[in-house]
Structure 1
């Protein structure tokens, strides 16, 4: 499976929106994902005319989650980012 394949893989169907750009179940970062798919066929445009895409991840714990590309933390903070217990999805 290629991350930019136009056809979504089956594992994306039940994905949960993660608001903190990490797995809502185990709080792993996208770097720990076993699969990635980016929905580039349906971009959303923000008020300032920027595009954002849904980025889907299947975590090593088998949880499928997604976040908007503009929710990704800046690179210099990515290693420091911690999802806390309060950040988990229910």
Structure 2
């Protein structure tokens, strides 16, 4: 599975929006995900013309969740 593939994987269909950033079921961070997909087809432009994307994660606990790329804290972006 390629995180940058333009076609979304089937598991993203059941993804729920996670706020705060992390698995809403087990609270694992994105680094623990068994699969990741970035929705590059629909970027959103925010103030200062910056863009953000939907990031989809399939957690080890089998929860599919998504969050905006701008929701990651600076410590999670490394």
Q: TM-score, normalised by structure 1?
A: 0.82
Q: What CA RMSD, in Å, does the superposition of the two structures yield over aligned residues?
A: 0.7
Richer in helix (by share): 2
- Structure 2 unaligned runs (5+)? none
Aligned match of 1:33: 33
The structure having more radius of gyration, on CA atoms, is 1
* Segments ≥4 residues shifted beyond 2 Å: none
Number of residue pairs matched by the alignment: 76
* Superposition map of 1:9-48 within 5 A: 9-48=9-48
Aligned match of 2:69: 69
For 1:16 and 1:48, locate their aligned partners in 2 and report how far apart those are by CA, in whole Å.
Answer: 28
Q: TM-score, normalised by structure 2?
A: 0.94
Richer in strand (by share): 2
